[in-house]
Amino acid sequence: MAAIPTVEATAHATAPATAPSARPAMADHRTPLVRNCWYVAGRSSDFGRTLRERVLLDTTVVLYRREDGTPVVLDNRCVHRSFPLSRGRLDGDVVVCGYHGMRYDPSGQCVGMPSLARAPSHARVTSYPVVEQGPLVWVWMGDRALADPALVPAMPWLAAPDWATVTGELPMAANYVAMHENLLDQTHFSVLHADSVGTPAYARSELQVEEEGDQVHLTRALIDSPPPPIYGVPMKLMGRPVDRHSDSRFFSPAGHIAHASIVNREPRPGEREVYRVNITHVFTPERQNSIHYWWFNSRDFGLDDDEASRYLQEASTKAYREDVDALTWIQQTYDRLDGVPPELSFGPDRPGLLMRRILKRLADAEGAGRAG
């Protein structure tokens, strides 16, 4: 555990890809996507009895649900003539190609072809392991032998009756490394989100950073200070003194979970002492430089407070759209330039740099695995 220095201690340029460097290598937008990971394939409601095409990790897949309700993710290309299966139809649990009627069961095995007397047993498309949990369906697009369902991150608050959740999704034309860095970075709040989540006092509060295996964990406490609107408004504590304990975790290449506890220092009659908020950010690379992004703002108070829900929906959407805009503009800058420009980093960037080293290490390990 280490405090972030408040003056630049580690300022350095991130080296261009071809330059040798003694520093630990860090992922950037050109680093191959990490595949050995449970990513969100979509909301549960994205899976139904009609075929839906989606691109995940540069692979075009088709999403649907079996008659018994189990979600299915198959490669979307018929092995016969490359017709997109999502343009075909469902017959029970079987996907029927729209060109020659080739039939695939949920395991990807071809089980019939109208022009042939028996199904070609060697014909099959990839079926990806999936786990449905709460409002999300998770998919494993990497090495199938490593797809352990126990690794799907638990997010019970998303489905628990004692939590209320507002949620949204935003497509983003940016690489996922920049999005991860954005979510580990608290120093942009008071600039990019000046109107909503950022307060000057919070920006000065001391941050604890821990690297735990392939995760990065941040904790921060801000004692006796009025809350920003994103907390103060739904809690009806604007201008009141609160303690704010928050922690945030980069749990995998698939996302971040943040918890906040707001302690009401001077509760009035009928008020709670502690209010909890969990913010869940999950996102999946669509291609190298685009993302499917879903966010969830969950609270354990005011469960039936429609006004609070409406406010949180609007304020969250506004703030996350600011992030989407920023990351899109940055990606456009990268796209316009030959090669990656050297970027300077400073002390407060340390959580993001730790994450980028982890992502690089994971990507390199997969590359070595593929090469070997």
At 159, phi and psi to the nearest 5? Answer: -125, 0
Smallest CA-to-CA distance from 182 within 255, 252, 232 is with 255
29 vs 66, beta carbon nearer its own copies: 29
Question: DSSP 3-state assignment of 169?
Answer: strand
Least distance to its own copies, CB of residue 84, Å = 5
CA gap 34, 142 in Å, rounded: 8
Q: Which of 41, 73, 79, 174 binds its own copies (CB under 8 A)?
A: 79
CA gap 263, 266 in Å, rounded: 9
Dihedral of alpha carbons 346, 203, 360, 75, sign: negative
50 vs 333, beta carbon nearer its own copies: 333
HSE toward the beta carbon, residue 142, CA cutoff 13 A: 21
234 vs 352, beta carbon nearer its own copies: 352
Which range binds its own copies by CB under 8 A, 156-164, 183-191, 226-234, 258-266?
183-191
CA gap 367, 361 in Å, rounded: 10
Q: How many residues bind its own copies (CB under 8 A)?
A: 55
The tokens describing 217, both together, are 């964990």
Contact between 60 and its own copies by CB under 8 A: the answer reads yes
Smallest CA-to-CA distance from 123 within 77, 67, 181, 175 is with 77
Contact between 18 and its own copies by CB under 8 A: the answer reads no
Contact between 333 and its own copies by CB under 8 A: the answer reads yes
> By CB under 8 A, what part of segment 266-285 binds its own copies?
none
Least distance to its own copies, CB of residue 106, Å = 20
> By CB under 8 A, what part of segment 308-327 binds its own copies?
325-326
Contact between 61 and its own copies by CB under 8 A: the answer reads no
> By CB under 8 A, what part of segment 112-151 binds its own copies?
113-118, 120, 122-123
CA gap 59, 66 in Å, rounded: 21
Contact between 87 and its own copies by CB under 8 A: the answer reads yes
| Degrees to nearest 5, angle at CA 9 with 8 and 12 | 85
> By CB under 8 A, what part of segment 240-259 binds its own copies?
none
Q: Which of 19, 336, 368, 371 binds its own copies (CB under 8 A)?
A: 336
Which range binds its own copies by CB under 8 A, 252-260, 267-275, 292-300, 330-338?
330-338
CA gap 55, 287 in Å, rounded: 7
Contact between 190 and its own copies by CB under 8 A: the answer reads yes
86 vs 264, beta carbon nearer its own copies: 86
Contact between 100 and its own copies by CB under 8 A: the answer reads yes
At 217, phi and psi to the nearest 5? Answer: -125, 130
Strand partners, 131: 138
Amino acid at 276: R
> Scanning the structure block, which residue is given the tokens 């993001």?
352
The tokens describing 111, both together, are 């089980």
Which range binds its own copies by CB under 8 A, 209-217, 221-229, 238-246, 331-339?
331-339
Binding site for its own copies (CB under 8 A): 6-8, 11, 60, 76-77, 79-84, 87, 96-101, 113-118, 120, 122-123, 178, 181, 185, 187-188, 190-192, 203, 325-326, 329-330, 332-334, 336-337, 341-348
